[in-house]
Amino acid sequence: VMANVISSDGEQDPDVMAANASSAALMISDIPWCGPIGVVRVGRIDGKLVINPDMDE
């Protein structure tokens, strides 16, 4: 599965969405695999965990 970024807001990294979209594509295909997966990016900001921080954070 290849995921290409066609449009981006520049705030979020597209890798999380690409992994989730690839998982969805494999789930609806006939390709055997041990999925699905779910992906988030976790950051630590001021000692607190943040899910999917933007590029500035």
Residue 2 lies in a domain: no
Q: Report the alpha-carbon distance of residue 35 to residue 45 in Å, rounded.
A: 31
Residue 20 lies in a domain: yes
Could you read off the pLDDT tens digit of each residue along the chain, which spans 57 residues? Answer: 999 999 988 888 899 999 999 999 999 999 999 999 999 999 999 999 999 998 888
Spatial neighbors of 44 by CB under 8 A, at least 6 apart, are 50
CB-side exposure of 21: number of CA atoms within 13 Å?
Answer: 10
| 2-31 as b/e: b if 16+ CB within 10 A | eeeeeeeeeeeeeeeebbbebbeebeeeee
pTM of the model: 0.79
Report how many domains make up the chain.
Answer: 1
Residue 6 lies in a domain: no
Q: What is the residue range of 41's domain?
A: 15-51
